[in-house]
């Protein structure tokens, strides 16, 4: 059998095609590792906790509650959303929490593996994949809760709900793409993580998460520019069986996102040795 | 197809820069990231940027199948950095490494363990990180538990394990790897003696399977037991490459030991060639004392250090050698006759005292010497470790009928 030859030297990053092929290949071959890491983290998360699953949706639920109270009490008036407000706001905060988690996942997982990154050479793409696995498992529970809401509030199910899982995966894909780009810098400087979490806090209010797009005003313009708007509206409207208004923007978004995702993978792959070097320095 | 002596690892002019300051280091990280992503390599990598130093500089070696290279050097000499580059964790700044075949690194045992989970679950975690498939682990899990000798505790959370048990479990998983090139960093230094011997036994088997091994250790015995070639690393550079005995001696003597009062007392070895000796040789020292005052009833103490360990001390009073120190120049000869030392590097130092222990006057420079032969044998058929003891084996001719069955 011919032995595989590996070469390490300074210059070998100039062929994007080869890097991407290696990256995807590693992602494919590391499925078991990714699954194992995800199982490990999920098990550990539940084994040391009595409330377990509840933590997965307590945050979106409490945000939703605040908004339900605000609107019920008349403190804040929200425009018509087409579905009962609690369902609207809960689906919004829930999808938002999934988006935030998927943006943070690549960085959180890479950070969590710091210890082994500087000691063992394993396919780093497994960290990204295990992050997606963990997200899916956490989101699964959230979505079941959301479906219960749909029944309780009498929204019911429409045929378009069959497309909802795809749109939902779209959110995770979108978040992971952004996450891939912020991870390298975020691993070097803690500031990045803090800026991202603060920025997302603001961005939530420029996205139709807890209220629909207003009819007029600055916020309307802002929301219509915001790429998260089509992402959220399309996903949610599929769930509720409403009209899909921003479909062109939505597909445009993914037309940009897909190549960016592959670029992000390459960027991540290039950056890991540099991060490891600076961590162990 | 498989050549007996094919070169598996080839390292050419390998160099790596490191930065002393964290903030600057992070900023250079950002810069490197940009230049790497843009594929822009115009920047001259030969140059050190401010606050940088060479952690590894111009390392060259070749390692063939069945060979074991020992990397020795003091803390911070650059050994671990070199291993990280060899393992592909970080990229070199200059030079090139070519490795053939599957590389495995025993750098950290039990990577990927989660303390809350049980030993059995962690075998899967660790195995996955080391690159095993589920099927492979399934088939090896019993073997691993037996090798680690912790069957009784295998379903207990790893956080309740003793550190020795964790290491055993980690090694047991790692021992299942079947590499062409094996990189080992210091992991043998842990665990109890019986388990260490088991590890050696395992590694010996690995070597006999024609694997190329790179071993980093501070333990000279490990190095002598396993390696057939060593490289002594000091400040990122390889200052010696070759024979194990000579290299180990050099390493023992590397510590920077300068004496401040060598103007009063200084010592050197009397030898026309060098400081290399054989076991059994007589080693002669000349001690020069330059005194400003007359010292009545003076003493000279001889100290011998081995591996930062005071091995022996002798006072001139022991052999009732009595003398006074005159003002000006005094010279003495000290001979170590028929030295019992085995292969390794040793340090000597002389101290000048007056009549009592409180009358300390001065210490000399450290004088290194090396024992380079005859060869020791760590496999249990010769003598090894530090000294050769006078001994004799004979058959006991006592009447056997004295034994009552």
DSSP A9-61: ES-----HHHHHHHHHHHHHHTHHHHHHHHHHHHHHHHHT-SSTTHHHHHHHH
- The whole-number pLDDT of residue B188 equals 64
Tens-level pLDDT at each residue, chain B (405 residues)? 445 578 899 999 999 988 888 888 888 888 888 887 776 665 556 678 888 889 899 999 999 988 899 998 888 888 888 999 999 888 888 889 999 988 888 888 888 888 999 999 999 999 999 989 999 999 999 999 998 888 999 999 999 998 888 888 998 898 888 888 989 887 666 667 777 778 778 877 776 678 899 988 877 777 877 888 999 998 889 999 988 878 877 887 665 454 455 678 888 888 766 778 889 999 999 999 998 889 999 999 999 988 777 889 999 999 999 999 999 899 999 999 999 998 888 888 899 998 888 888 888 888 888 888 788 887 778 888 889 999 999 888 777 776 665
List all residues of chain B from 107 to 126 with a beta carbon under 8 Å from chain A.
Answer: 107-108, 111-112, 114, 116-117, 121, 124-125
Cis omega before residue B46 (within 30°)? no
- The whole-number pLDDT of residue A104 equals 94
Q: Is residue A5 part of a domain?
A: no
Q: Is residue A103 part of a domain?
A: yes
Q: What letter would DSSP give residue B352?
A: E
Interface test with A, best of B36, B64, B173 (most A CBs within 10 A): B36
Q: How far apart are CA B18 and CA A51, in angstroms?
A: 46
In this complex, is the C-beta atom of A10 within 8 Å of any C-beta atom belonging to chain B? Answer: yes
Contact A10 B134 (CB under 8 A): no
Q: Give me the average pLDDT of each 10-residue run along chain A (281 residues).
A: 77 74 90 92 85 79 84 78 84 91 94 88 93 91 87 84 91 95 91 93 88 85 90 90 86 94 92 85 45
- Nearest C-alpha in B relative to A38: B125
In this complex, is the C-beta atom of A22 within 8 Å of any C-beta atom belonging to chain B? Answer: no
In this complex, is the C-beta atom of B96 within 8 Å of any C-beta atom belonging to chain A? Answer: yes
**Of the candidates B29, B94, B101, which has its C-beta nearest A278's C-beta?**
B29
Q: Is residue A40 part of a domain?
A: yes
In this complex, is the C-beta atom of A215 within 8 Å of any C-beta atom belonging to chain B? Answer: no
Q: Is residue A35 part of a domain?
A: yes
**Of the candidates B37, B89, B102, which has its C-beta nearest A276's C-beta?**
B89
In this complex, is the C-beta atom of B259 within 8 Å of any C-beta atom belonging to chain A? Answer: no
Contact B92 A9 (CB under 8 A): yes
**Helix ranges, B149-283 (H):** 163-174, 193-208, 220-226, 244-252
- CA dihedral sign of residues A78, A80, A85, A91: negative
Under 8 Å between Cβ of A176 and A131: yes
Sort out which chain B residues have CB atoms less than 8 A from A7's CB and list them: 96-99
- The whole-number pLDDT of residue B118 equals 93
Q: Is residue A6 part of a domain?
A: no
**Of the candidates A10, A32, A43, which has its C-beta nearest B91's C-beta?**
A10
List all residues of chain B from 36 to 65 with a beta carbon under 8 Å from chain A.
Answer: 36-37, 39, 41, 45
Phi and psi at B329, nearest 5°, equal: -90, 130
Inter-helix orientation angle A228-240/A85-112, to 10°: 130
Number of domains in chain A: 1
Q: Is residue A7 part of a domain?
A: no
- The whole-number pLDDT of residue B272 equals 67
In this complex, is the C-beta atom of B76 within 8 Å of any C-beta atom belonging to chain A? Answer: no
Q: How far apart are CA B239 and CA B301, in angstroms?
A: 32
- The whole-number pLDDT of residue B145 equals 93
In this complex, is the C-beta atom of B129 within 8 Å of any C-beta atom belonging to chain A? Answer: yes
Q: What letter would DSSP give residue A254?
A: H
In this complex, is the C-beta atom of A51 within 8 Å of any C-beta atom belonging to chain B? Answer: no
Cα B346 from chain centroid?
15
Q: Is residue A1 part of a domain?
A: no
**Of the candidates A5, A47, A120, which has its C-beta nearest B100's C-beta?**
A5
- Nearest C-alpha in B relative to A113: B112
Sort out which chain B residues have CB atoms less than 8 A from A37's CB and list them: 112, 125, 128
SS3 content of chain A, % helix, strand, coil (to 5): 75, 0, 25
In this complex, is the C-beta atom of A251 within 8 Å of any C-beta atom belonging to chain B? Answer: no
Can you give the residue range of the structural domain that contains A37? 16-280
Residue ranges of domains in chain B, CATH in brackets: 64-252 (3.40.50.300), 265-373 (2.70.50.60)
The model's pTM: 0.80
Contact B121 A43 (CB under 8 A): yes
- The whole-number pLDDT of residue B60 equals 92
DSSP E strands in chain A: the ranges are 5-9
List all residues of chain B from 159 to 218 with a beta carbon under 8 Å from chain A.
Answer: 180
Contact B32 A274 (CB under 8 A): yes
Under 8 Å between Cβ of A233 and A249: no
Q: How far apart are CA A12 and CA B51, in angstroms?
A: 26
Contact A280 B90 (CB under 8 A): yes
């Amino acid at each position: 059998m011919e032995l595989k030859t590996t070469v390490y030297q300074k210059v070998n990053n100039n062929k994007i095609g080869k890097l991407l092929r290696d990256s995807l290949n590693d992602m494919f071959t590391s499925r078991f590792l990714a699954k194992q890491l995800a199982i490990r983290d999920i098990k550990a998360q539940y084994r040391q906790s009595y409330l377990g699953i509840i933590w997965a949706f307590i945050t979106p639920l409490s945000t939703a509650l605040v908004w339900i109270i605000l609107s019920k009490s008349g403190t804040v008036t929200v425009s018509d959303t087409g579905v009962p407000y609690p369902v609207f706001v809960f689906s919004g905060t829930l999808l938002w929490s999934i988006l935030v988690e998927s943006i943070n996942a690549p960085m959180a997982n890479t950070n969590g593996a710091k210890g082994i990154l500087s000691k063992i050479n394993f396919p780093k793409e497994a960290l990204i994949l295990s992050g997606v696995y963990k997200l899916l498992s956490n989101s699964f529970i959230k979505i079941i809760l959301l479906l219960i809401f749909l029944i309780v509030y009498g929204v019911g199910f429409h045929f378009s709900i069959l497309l909802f899982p795809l749109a939902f995966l779209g959110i995770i894909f979108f978040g992971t793409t952004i996450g891939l780009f912020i991870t390298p810098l975020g691993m070097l400087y803690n500031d990045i993580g803090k800026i991202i979490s603060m920025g997302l806090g603001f961005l939530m209010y420029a996205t139709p998460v807890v209220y629909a797009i207003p009819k007029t005003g600055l916020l309307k313009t802002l929301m219509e520019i915001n790429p998260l708007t089509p992402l959220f509206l399309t996903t949610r409207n599929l769930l509720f069986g409403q009209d899909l208004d921003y479909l062109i923007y939505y597909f445009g978004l993914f037309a940009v996102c897909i190549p960016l995702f592959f670029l992000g993978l390459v960027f991540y792959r290039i950056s890991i040795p540099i991060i490891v070097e600076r961590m162990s320095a | 197809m498989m050549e007996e002596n094919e070169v598996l690892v080839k390292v050419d002019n390998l160099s790596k820069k490191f930065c002393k300051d964290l903030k600057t280091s992070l900023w250079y990280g950002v810069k490197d990231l940009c230049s790497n992503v843009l594929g822009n390599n115009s920047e001259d990598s030969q140059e050190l940027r401010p606050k940088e130093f060479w952690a590894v500089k111009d390392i060259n070696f070749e390692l063939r199948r069945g060979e074991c290279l020992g990397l020795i050097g003091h803390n911070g000499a650059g050994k671990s950095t070199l291993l990280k580059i060899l393992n592909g964790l970080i990229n070199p700044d200059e030079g090139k490494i070519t490795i053939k075949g599957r590389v495995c690194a025993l750098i950290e045992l039990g990577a990927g363990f989660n303390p809350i989970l049980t030993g059995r679950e962690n075998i899967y975690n660790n195995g996955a990180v080391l690159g095993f498939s589920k099927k492979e682990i399934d088939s090896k899990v019993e073997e691993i538990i037996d090798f680690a000798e912790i069957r009784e505790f295998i379903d207990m959370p790893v956080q309740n394990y003793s550190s020795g048990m964790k290491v055993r479990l980690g090694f047991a998983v790692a021992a299942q790897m079947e590499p062409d090139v094996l990189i080992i960093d210091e992991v043998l230094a842990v665990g109890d003696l019986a388990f260490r011997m088991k590890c050696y036994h395992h590694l010996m088997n690995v070597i006999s399977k024609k694997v190329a091994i790179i071993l980093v250790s501070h333990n000279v015995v490990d190095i002598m037991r396993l390696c057939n070639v060593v490289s002594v690393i000091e400040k990122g550079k390889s200052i010696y490459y070759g024979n194990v005995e000579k290299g180990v001696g050099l390493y023992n003597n590397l510590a920077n030991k300068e004496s401040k009062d060598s103007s009063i007392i200084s010592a050197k070895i009397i030898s026309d060639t060098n400081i290399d000796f054989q076991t059994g040789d007589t080693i002669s020292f000349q001690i020069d004392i330059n005194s400003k005052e007359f010292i009545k009833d003076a003493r000279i103490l001889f100290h011998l250090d081995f591996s930062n360990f005071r091995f022996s001390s002798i006072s001139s009073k022991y052999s009732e050698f009595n003398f006074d120190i005159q003002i000006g120049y005094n010279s003495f000869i000290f001979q170590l006759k028929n030295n019992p030392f085995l292969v390794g590097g040793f340090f000597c130092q002389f101290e000048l005292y007056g009549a009592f222990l409180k009358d300390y006057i001065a210490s000399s420079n450290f004088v290194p010497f090396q024992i380079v032969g005859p060869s020791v044998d760590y496999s249990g058929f010769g003598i090894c470790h530090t000294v050769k003891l006078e001994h004799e084996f004979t058959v006991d001719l006592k009447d056997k009928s004295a034994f009552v069955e």
